[in-house]
Structure 1
Amino acid sequence: MQPLTEVVSRTVVLRERNIDTDQIIPARFLTTTERKGLGKHAFNDWRSLPDGSPNPEFPFNRAENIGARILVAGRNFGCGSSREHAPWALTDLGLRAVISAEIADIFRSNALKSGLLPIVLDEAIVDELLEQPGVELRIDVAQRSVTLPDGRRVQFPLDAFAQTCLLEGVDQLGFLLKQSPAISQFEQQRQTQEFRHAS
């Protein structure tokens, strides 16, 4: 996982509400535990027309959205099943942050473990962004803030542990492994103390 300290990018917008994880990555693409390559299937059934050709109206198929790293979506993003493949597909697509007025709890947890930053903002601000696709935003993970196109800076909630993991580019297991020297030192000190008491 790459450290995530800042995201400066144009936005790509999906105005739909209640975008569930089966729409993000349809179940038929869940036959792998590899993250790489899932991005090509993200929003698969929306990106393609019935004949299999690309839907030119779908935002992720439009040339102006190539390289966008911030998705702004309608309320209740990531609802449905708990599949980890959903944030994997979005990160493989190139996204580093999702902004919505409401993000499903399980999706939010899986996203943070995958290096994808789920940001919940006030609905009025999200509505503004939904009506202005392609604007540039600056996300500062250390400050937990989003700088809007007009210069306003708004805060978003992010717990301290998740923030640390994002800034250091580690998941929960990676964070624990980084503590190995301190854990080993503690165990050694404890064994020494127990030996002294036993003597």
Structure 2
Amino acid sequence: MARFTIHRGTAVPLRRSNVDTDQIIPVRFCTRSTRHGHADALFADWRDDPSFALNRHEHQGASVLVAGTDFGTGSSREYAVWALQDYGIRAVIAPRFGEIFRGNAALNGLLTVVVPTEVVESLWAAASADPVTEVTVDLERLEVRWLDRTQSFTFDPEIRRRLMTGLDPIAATLSHAEEIATYERGRRAHLPLTS
């Protein structure tokens, strides 16, 4: 998993609320067993509308998605996170997320930032008025910065540590391999061993 400390990029304003995982990537596209190759399926049912935010040329290359309330609700679909990442999205900012989506995002290195609705509206306005407006998502300082504004956010400390070090839960566990081996060597001989 790639480390996430500070990300600077432009934002795409997704002025929609209650976006579920089937809207992020419809189930008919969830056929590959790999993390890559899903960018074309991202928001597939909305991509034939030329006015849809991701279709607008001024938002091409944006790496921060700013969405409305309840982004990522619905079924547990890791593909939704993979499609966003494959498209180039590094962070999603919204007032509230579906909990399963947020957990999948954390496991895969996609940062989800919860901010008040008025902050989302300010980011939408800035990205719409000037699409090259830089948005900084700073996991070290727990801040989002744009124009002359700064918004702090909270984040689970353990997930933050893993994102900043680039360790998924398995890699984080394996970083304690020596301590695990020491513990196993000290187990009583008649107890089963793990491998």
1:156 aligns with 2:150: no
Q: Percent identity?
A: 40
Give the number of aligned pairs: 185
Per-residue CA deviations over 1:78-130 (Å, capped at 9, x if unaligned) read 11111111011100110010001111111100111111000000111111112
Aligned-residue offset at 1:164:
1.2
- 2:75 is the alignment partner of 1:81: yes
Q: Distance in 2 between matches of 1:178 and 1:91?
A: 26
Larger Rg: 1
CA distance in 1, matches of 2:111, 2:69: 16
Cross-structure match for 1:167: 164
Measure, in 2, the Cα distance between the counterparts of 1:68 and 1:78: 19
After TM superposition, the structure 1 = structure 2 runs for residues 108-147 of structure 1, keeping only pairs within 5 Å, are 108-133=102-127, 134=131, 135-147=133-145
* C-alpha distance in 2 between matches for 1:5 and 1:185: 32
**Aligned counterpart, 2:180:** 183
Measured after TM superposition, the shift of residue 13 of structure 1 is: 0.7
The 1-side partners of 2:117 and 2:21 are apart by 21
Structure 1 ranges of 4+ moved more than 6 A:
none
User: Distance in 1 between the 2:168 and 2:32 partners?
Assistant: 20
Can you give the 5+ residue segments of structure 2 that lack an aligned partner in the other structure? 190-195
Cross-structure match for 1:64 = 58
Structure 1 gap segments, 5+ residues each = 49-54
Secondary structure, counterpart of 2:137 in structure 1: strand
Residue 128 of structure 1 aligns to a residue whose secondary structure is helix
